[in-house]
Chain A
Amino acid sequence: MRPILRETRRIIIDLDHELFLDPELEILDKIREEEEKRNIRKVRALSEFSAMYRSNIYEIIKNFIIKFRNKISTIEIKDFIIEHLKESIEALKILQQITNPDQKNFQNTYLYRLVKFIEEIVFPRGFNLQTIYKKLLDKSKDYYECQRHILLTHTFYRDKLKNPDYFIIPSVSPKVYQIINNITSLYNLDPNYGDFPEKTNYEIPMLLTNDVFEPYIDSIANAEEEAVKSIAERIGLRIIDEIFLAPQESFVDILLANNFLREDIQKDGKTRYIPQFSNETLLLYYLAIASIRRGFLSKELVNWISMNFALLIYMGILKWKLSDDNIFYSIFKDLQTNEKILPNLMKLSCFPNYLGMDKMKIRDSVQYRKEIFNFIGSQIDNLKDLINEIALFCEKINKEKK
């Protein structure tokens, strides 16, 4: 992409702006035809992409000239085009040099810095769950919707359904999301209390498993029991006496540390932990578990999370480098461009020093590349806020580099 933009910029700089007044702008068609003849690429797909890309650039320039030549002077139009081309070239330059192929000094690359910046907000690392949970909670005030978004996939990858591996962490389906919300509500509203197995004289809140799962499951048999157990485990809960759903010992500590449980001394001298959960209490635990066990995420979740990172990085750089009215923005956001750039960024961001997820799970067949479009179409406002934040951070990195 970058050479084509550079060529175009050179051509426009040399072009007499008076030619922009030609009603049919034939000069641009001629230049394009000439440029197409120079195409010596041998790989068909690449040459098709270049042709499409070049044709889009000239089409955009032509439309821009037609639209504005009666309103502003042609010399100004020329300046605008050159400026927008310059911005686009710079954005591509950053993308091209986003990392070092030899991994030398990788800590100073844009890719590393940006992955770490986003990671800290939506998928932080830490030496234990408590640290990760705390980090997530600290950022949840501004970015809870982003944190939730990276768990709720909109993509579908074919996985083997026979003999599911319960150790693998899947994404949160709409049903599981609803179950998590119901558990939160039931804990806040009407919990039962039972002895805390690991601490005498303490009581923890409990729910009847049936109250939670009955509306979703006709009858609970072995397979359902396993599924219920693994869902519970991912949100910090466990099954006690086969019928109750209660927080795990380690989760109780996290809940206490973050004021999601308060102590209440009963008449019999026992201390009861009263739940005071928020919407994010359980979901952030799920995210923290996913983060600490990032080597065991389902293919769907690995692809989804890396897609989020790739798009945030890509859009952040565009936001930083391109002005909002850049006429070439649509090319960068074109599906064909996305389809080419994002899968590479996804794989790069999965490397051990970056996100550290299993990059072999990134599916890169033609069919699965199309899943990217679900993701892009499902964007939420909160992601746009994060993109703005990333653009500001890019500027900061740039200043540090200078």
Chain B
Amino acid sequence: MSILESKWEELLEAFSEGLEEAIVELKNKNVENIPGARDALLDRLDILRTQFPRNDGELLKRAIDNTIQNAFFPNTSNLAVAFSKILKSRTHEQDFIINELLNGFITSKAKAIASYAQGPIIDRIVEAFANRNDFHIVDHQFYAMFGDPNNPRSYIKKQLQELINLFGLVSKEHIVDRDKRTSEKKVYTFYTFPPGILAILQEKYIIIDKTDNEENRNEIGEDGGEIELGISINKKSEKNNLVYAHISEAFDRNVFISLFLANLAINRKDLEKIGGSFTINGISAIFALILLLSFMPKLTVRVNHPILKDPSFDNDNMSIIPKSWMMRQILESLFEPLIKIVAFRLGGGRWLNNIIDTDINKKIHNQIRFLLKDVNKWILGNLCRVEIPIFVEIANIFTEVTLGLDRDEDT
């Protein structure tokens, strides 16, 4: 058995112990206000305990590798592939998860992945792209958003460079022999996404308008073609192959956040580049929470239960989560091993070594349970899970694996 295999087994064992502790805690305390809720949770934890270690932890492997990673943190070295997968997983609610992954969990003990000031800069970049018809931003335009475009402050220049690196934007210089204002030579730098990314955006986020009268039209993403720069001087010289690109209604800040996340995903081995221990702990914790939420049973309440009459409760798309699940005592024993499992699957031993299991971190773990606050809803004091695709997919794997194993046992 290799070191990795034995480590994996060790992690599964720790999770199993965590489940046992949770079951004991749950038996000792009843905080439920819905009849049968505690029993349903006990049953679910018991099934988890017996089923998940089988087939070398197939359930967790599939849930993390095939589902969570695929949707939010693709395991690939190709930025375009990673970006495309994250974009595909976008829904109104899953956007909140993407946002949360960017912000991490904000505590005084650690800084967020993206600093407090980067969020608004992303907003401005969205606006900068939205206001041109060639899907480029120009350094001059970016500086204009923060002050005098002809005399930008050094930190603005630095911030632009950081963002260029962060999003992997490609640049092209355009030299104007005589600037109208100063009559001097001026260099404008245009930035846009690399061709692979543009091709993906073209599916939904960019609307391409091509001029009709020319034969040698370029198309983005094909044969190295690209959107032509849209400034008037440039149009005069290159108007024979103009391609206009407008952003669609769907283009928003989450497109950038998805790209940001895709960058983190493909650089997962370069710990320094992705923000080190904090990023690892933050991402692993959120994914652990997604797993736990997905494993929770659906509760059935009596027909005349007030929650069913609440206008914000959608019976087709929501289910109530047992209160006991949110108990600190239950989650404390589950979170730590599960976070380690997630870290191990995402980044192997290097990520696992960066998981902090100190007392301070346990305090932070207690906060994790309150994350994804915009995905799930509190209705009349009960936490309701919105059945977003990621929860449904993992729940399906859970059913499939447990049913499959039962069948194997029967035969």
Name A residues whose Cβ lies closer than 8 Å to a Cβ of B: 23, 55, 59, 63, 66-71, 141, 154-156, 174-175, 178, 181-182, 184-185, 188-190, 214-218, 259, 274-279, 281, 330, 333-335, 366-367, 370, 373-379, 381, 384
B3 at interface by CB-CB < 8 Å: no
**Which residues on A sit within 8 Å (CB–CB) of B244?**
63
* B:257-296 near A, CB below 8 Å: none
Which of A68, A141, A156, A384 is in CB contact (< 8 Å) with B312?
A141
B311 touches A378 (CB 8 A): no
Which of B105, B107, B211, B370 is in CB contact (< 8 Å) with A66?
B211
Asked, given contacts A215-B109, A279-B377, whether A373 binds B145 with beta carbons under 8 Å apart, the answer is yes
- In the complex, what distance in Å separates the CA atom of A215 from the CA atom of B326? 17
- In the complex, what distance in Å separates the CA atom of A23 from the CA atom of B213? 9
A188 vs chain B, min Cβ distance (A): 4
Q: Which residue of A lies closest to B103 (CB)?
A: A174
* B interface majority secondary structure: mixed
A231 vs chain B, min Cβ distance (A): 14
A375 touches B212 (CB 8 A): no
A181 touches B124 (CB 8 A): no
23 contacts between A and B (CB under 8 A): A23-B213, A59-B232, A63-B242, A63-B244, A70-B212, A70-B213, A175-B106, A178-B105, A181-B373, A182-B370, A188-B382, A190-B31, A215-B107, A215-B108, A215-B364, A217-B108, A276-B381, A278-B380, A366-B148, A374-B124, A375-B123, A377-B120, A377-B253
**Which residues on B sit within 8 Å (CB–CB) of A378?**
120, 123, 126, 253
B25 at interface by CB-CB < 8 Å: no
Asked, given contacts A189-B323, A330-B133, whether A370 binds B120 with beta carbons under 8 Å apart, the answer is no
A370 touches B381 (CB 8 A): no
A278 touches B211 (CB 8 A): no
Q: Which residue of A lies closest to B367 (CB)?
A: A215
B145 touches A66 (CB 8 A): no
**Which residues on B sit within 8 Å (CB–CB) of A70?**
212-213
- In the complex, what distance in Å separates the CA atom of A174 from the CA atom of B123? 16
B125 touches A377 (CB 8 A): yes
Asked, given contacts A178-B106, A217-B108, whether A67 binds B212 with beta carbons under 8 Å apart, the answer is yes
- In the complex, what distance in Å separates the CA atom of A188 from the CA atom of B232? 60
B380 vs chain A, min Cβ distance (A): 4
B388 at interface by CB-CB < 8 Å: no
- In the complex, what distance in Å separates the CA atom of A184 from the CA atom of B280? 28
A67 touches B120 (CB 8 A): no
Q: Which residue of A lies closest to B210 (CB)?
A: A67
A189 touches B120 (CB 8 A): no
* B:81-112 near A, CB below 8 Å: 92, 103, 105-109
Q: Which of A66, A178, A215 has the most CB of B within 10 A?
A: A215
Q: Which 8 A-B pairs have the closest CB atoms?
A: A276-B381, A377-B123, A377-B127, A377-B126, A374-B120, A181-B373, A378-B123, A276-B380
* B:338-367 near A, CB below 8 Å: 363-364, 366-367
A55 touches B378 (CB 8 A): no
B35 at interface by CB-CB < 8 Å: no
A386 vs chain B, min Cβ distance (A): 15
Asked, given contacts A154-B123, A189-B327, A378-B253, whether A333 binds B145 with beta carbons under 8 Å apart, the answer is no
Q: Which residue of B lies closest to A330 (CB)?
A: B133
- In the complex, what distance in Å separates the CA atom of A250 from the CA atom of B211? 65
**Which residues on A sit within 8 Å (CB–CB) of B36?**
none
B212 touches A66 (CB 8 A): yes
**Which residues on A sit within 8 Å (CB–CB) of B299?**
none
**Which residues on A sit within 8 Å (CB–CB) of B327?**
189-190
B248 vs chain A, min Cβ distance (A): 12
Which of A274, A367, A377 is in CB contact (< 8 Å) with B381?
A274
B120 touches A278 (CB 8 A): no
Q: A215-B108, A370-B145, A373-B123 are in contact. List 20 more A-B contacts (CB 8 A).
A: A66-B211, A66-B212, A67-B210, A68-B212, A71-B212, A156-B120, A185-B370, A185-B373, A185-B378, A188-B383, A189-B323, A216-B108, A281-B378, A334-B131, A370-B147, A376-B123, A377-B120, A377-B124, A377-B127, A378-B123
B379 touches A278 (CB 8 A): yes
A172 vs chain B, min Cβ distance (A): 13
- In the complex, what distance in Å separates the CA atom of A98 from the CA atom of B87? 41
B108 touches A218 (CB 8 A): yes
Which of A23, A188, A277, A381 is in CB contact (< 8 Å) with B92?
A381
Which of B108, B146, B373 is in CB contact (< 8 Å) with A279?
B373
B14 at interface by CB-CB < 8 Å: no
- In the complex, what distance in Å separates the CA atom of A141 from the CA atom of B367? 27
- In the complex, what distance in Å separates the CA atom of A330 from the CA atom of B134? 12
B146 touches A174 (CB 8 A): no
- In the complex, what distance in Å separates the CA atom of A379 from the CA atom of B244? 24
* B:218-268 near A, CB below 8 Å: 232, 242, 244, 246, 249, 252-253
A189 touches B326 (CB 8 A): yes
- In the complex, what distance in Å separates the CA atom of A383 from the CA atom of B245? 25
B200 at interface by CB-CB < 8 Å: no
A343 vs chain B, min Cβ distance (A): 15
